[in-house]
Amino acid sequence: MAIRHDHWIDGRHTPPEGRAWLPTLDPATGKPGDEIAAGSPADVARAVVAAENARHAWAHRSPAERAAVLHRIADAVEADAETLMELERACTGKVLAQLRLEVETSAAYFRYYAGVVRAAGQGQVIEQGAGVHTYTRYEPYGVVGVITPWNLPLNQACRALAPALAMGNAVVIKPSEFTSVSTLRLAGLAAEAGLPAGVLNVITGTGPEAGEALAAHPGIRRLAFTGSVATGRYLAGVAGGRLLPLTLELGGKSPLVVFADADLDGAVAAAVTALTANSGQVCSATTRLLVEESVHDEVVDRVVTAVAGLRPGVDFGPLITEAQYRKVLDLLADAPVPPATGGGPYEEGSAARGLYVRPTVFARVDPDAPVAREEVFGPVLVTVPFEDEDGALELANDTEYGLVAAVWSGDLARGLRLAERIEAGQVAVNGGPLTVETPFGGYKRSGYGREKGLAALHEYAQLKTVSATLR
């Protein structure tokens, strides 16, 4: 029996004004899932009013008081992990290890920002000599709008919510219409954990109906968007017209550079992870494998062997939406070379009933081919050989995107040299970890603004200077 989910406005489940709900789908089985409220501009307006009414009292609490609530939200997410994982699985088909990682990281965002807001949420005194007292303070924007995509639903919601709430903002969030239920559940958990009514509101629905209304609402004072370049470009236009501060976390086509002197076991494992983690539906997936010519074929053989043993539904999940599934299959059909492995859907077995795509490797691809330049957002890796360090750098930067990069080399100085010259928001050398603590965001078409780390705390605040003459 499909469950019908309402919006979450002012601390309670609230049916949509238009009395319309949208279907969802389990992409692992093709069966219908729960229904979500079809949000409209009227629903958005109600949520913004609730947030506006709640924001001052929340902002006036001390950082320590807000932090205590955030810690309790983290506790609640951890305690509710099994349910959250099941809700997420039902609309994404994600495999167990991926679900666990995402829910753990979701709690970690609240834990982290509960800590840092107490240490770094305050301004400083600026010495200007006797008779003057000058200081800065971070103040919240007020009502922040957050729009999230379908690939890491709960995780990306928490990535924006935790710093925004920590700094004393109230939020209206619109999750993807394909994956809204975990965000609704989070709002309920947050209320039970002591977050006052109206501080966090969830409006579900489509981008054109609910998302556009949220971005256009005059009560929204800052917007954080994670999603496609096309929607990001549209929202940048809206934000430009309103002079609305905006964070854009968009796509990527990130390079994984492997030199012949690298730890090849580690580099091959990283390439397999790029291909299979969330079935490649990760904006930071390093799915352009650039390999020094002398070890190129060996690395490709090892990746192909590792991928051949992976089981759909166990080691990797389906694509999350039907549209994305069709888009990936079309790109595979148009590839300029035959695949070294994979290359299409499953024709038989249980995987044939879901939106599963075989992990696919295209070796020695022309760097100008669409499959080597466009973000596939599926389990598809392309490889391109290079001759030397300059050639590697040229290929790594030969993209309109700049989200992340990975470099593998036994020569750490060379790894760091490249890290500094690659145009991307974050570069991992020899598997260096990128975590809740590390700022995350794009160069070039991958967007602007930063999520995660200390940087994101200050993205959700405006800096005020107060200067007083003491006489």
* Residues annotated as catalytic (active site), given as ranges: 174, 249, 283, 375
List 147, 184, 384, 436, residue binding ligand NAD (CB under 6 A): 147
Q: Which is nearer to ligand NAD, 106 or 148 (CB)?
A: 148
Q: How far is the CB of 332 from ligand NAD (least distance, A)?
A: 18
Distances (CA, A) of 469 to 125, 134, 142: 14, 9, 29
- Rounded to whole angstroms, the Cα distance separating 243 from 91 reads 36
- Show the DSSP H helices in 243-292 as ranges: 264-276
- Rounded to whole angstroms, the Cα distance separating 215 from 223 reads 7
First to last CA, the chain: 72
Segment 179 to 208, residues that bind ligand NAD, using CB under 6 A: 206-208
- Show the DSSP H helices in 401-452 as ranges: 412-421
Q: How far is the CB of 142 from ligand NAD (least distance, A)?
A: 20
List 26, 88, 102, 177, residue binding ligand NAD (CB under 6 A): 177
Q: Which is nearer to ligand NAD, 113 or 259 (CB)?
A: 113
Binding residues with ligand NAD: total (CB under 6 A): 29
Residue 403, token pair as written in the block: 């989200």
- Rounded to whole angstroms, the Cα distance separating 352 from 380 reads 18
Of 250, 292, 299, 200, nearest to 404 by C-alpha is: 250
Q: Is 385 one of the binding residues for ligand NAD (CB under 6 A)?
A: no
Cβ count within 10 A of residue 269: 15
Q: How far is the CB of 234 from ligand NAD (least distance, A)?
A: 5
Quick one: how many helices (H) and strands (E) in the chain? Answer: 15, 20
Q: Is 283 one of the binding residues for ligand NAD (CB under 6 A)?
A: yes
Q: What does the per-residue mask of binding to ligand NAD show for 394-433, with x meaning CB under 6 A?
A: ---------x------------------------------
| Vertex 441 angle, CA 438 and 445, to 5° | 160
Q: Is 377 one of the binding residues for ligand NAD (CB under 6 A)?
A: yes
Q: Which is nearer to ligand NAD, 234 or 346 (CB)?
A: 234
Q: Which is nearer to ligand NAD, 149 or 359 (CB)?
A: 149
Q: Is 378 one of the binding residues for ligand NAD (CB under 6 A)?
A: no
- Rounded to whole angstroms, the Cα distance separating 300 from 434 reads 25
List 215, 220, 406, 456, residue binding ligand NAD (CB under 6 A): 215
Q: Is 211 one of the binding residues for ligand NAD (CB under 6 A)?
A: yes
3-state helix, strand and coil shares in percent for the chain, rounded to the nearest 5: 45, 20, 35
Distance of CA 67 to the CA centre of its chain: 23
- Rounded to whole angstroms, the Cα distance separating 12 from 53 reads 15
Q: How far is the CB of 403 from ligand NAD (least distance, A)?
A: 6
Q: Which is nearer to ligand NAD, 69 or 319 (CB)?
A: 319
- Rounded to whole angstroms, the Cα distance separating 148 from 181 reads 13
Q: How far is the CB of 363 from ligand NAD (least distance, A)?
A: 24
Segment 217 to 276, residues that bind ligand NAD, using CB under 6 A: 226-228, 231, 234-235, 249-252
User: Which residues contact ligand NAD by CB under 6 A?
Assistant: 147-151, 156, 174, 176-177, 206-208, 211-212, 215, 226-228, 231, 234-235, 249-252, 283, 375, 377, 403
